[in-house]
Amino acid sequence: MLEVEISGVKFKNPIIAASGTFGFGREFSKLIDLNLFGGISTKGITLKKRTGNPQPRLCEVYGGIINSVGLENPGVEAFLNEELPFLRRFDTKIIANINGFSKEEFVELAKIVSPLVDMLEVNLSCPNVKEGGMVFGKDPDKVYEITKEVKKVSACPVIVKLTPNVTDITELAKAAEKAGADAISLINTISAMAIDIETRRPLIKMVTGGLSGPAIKPIAIRMVYECFQKVKIPIIGMGGIMSYKDAIEFFLAGATAIQIGTVNFVNPNAVSEIQKGIENYLKNHGFESVKDLIGNIII
């Protein structure tokens, strides 16, 4: 009833742990049974170790969280030697979220990591250091170029993660599909800012960060729906999912699977509750499979 397939990869259920919210699963495994997830998208991996941005880099706001962690991670070598063996203990698909600051870095990461995981998730929200720091993912031409080069060397299916901080996200989706992406995931966080009125200083050291949580869900739903109208490859939807009802909305808008992240900070049982809620919804509404919901919105 809950099984879905994305480019030949079979997920026992459509609920994936979102990148950046689970680390590499070690700490969360003390609170959550990682076997409950259909898949886990790892914390963003870079070629070299990164310490991330200075503190404070996380703050709570109405309806969500702003973060500017800065891709803190141990680097690809430590991921392969220490984190990947831990994740392999669990009955869940492993999606490696890769991040580069040049096309060459994305390609090198794909060569190293792709033979050892189930899927890659290419995070194009990194700045292009070779061309003035513009975020790769805001330029459809760069999305096409990097996706195509990663696909050439990848030993596993490739998901391209799209930024919502653009005028028309469907242009990015079409570029990824044209370049051969096996799926797209959306949305990443929305650029945001908060200020402490007593100190008159930003609550985030880097001034701005990415907003996640229920405040962004209606935007995410709209963007998934728009992309579903424009591309044929599977969509993994995310952004503010707090309950099974939110998940159902994403399926109806066109998502094949979903990712949950911020909700796990407030409800460690979310994955179990969402899974049971989806099952009950399908039974109560006469659907045989979650696949029957995909794009099944009545306009």
44 is in an annotated binding site: yes
161 is in an annotated binding site: yes
48 is in an annotated binding site: no
| Phi, psi angle pair for 240, to nearest 5° | 80, 20
Give the whole-angstrom CA distance, residue 287 versus residue 280: 10
61 is in an annotated binding site: no
59, 126, 156, 227: the catalytic one is: 126
Residue 156 designated active-site? no
Instruction: Single out the residue of 256, 172, 208, 263 nearest to residue 4, CA to CA.
Output: 256
What per-residue string of b and e applies to 46-58 under the rule 16 or more CB within 10 Å gives b?
bbeebeebeebbe
188 is in an annotated binding site: yes
Instruction: Single out the residue of 132, 159, 133 nearest to residue 6, CA to CA.
Output: 159
Q: Is the sign of the CA dihedral 145, 98, 180, 210 positive or negative? A: negative
64 is in an annotated binding site: no
189 is in an annotated binding site: yes
Residue with tokens 């699963």: 25
67 is in an annotated binding site: yes
284 is in an annotated binding site: no
97 is in an annotated binding site: yes
Per-residue DSSP letters for 111-142? HHHGGGSSEEEEE--SB-GGGTT-BGGG-HHH
List binding-site positions for substrate.
43, 67-71, 123, 188-189
- Which amino acids are annotated as binding site, given as ranges? 19, 43-44, 67-71, 97, 123, 161, 187-189, 213, 239-240, 261-262
Positions marked active-site: 126
Binding residues for FMN: 19, 43-44, 97, 123, 161, 187, 213, 239-240, 261-262
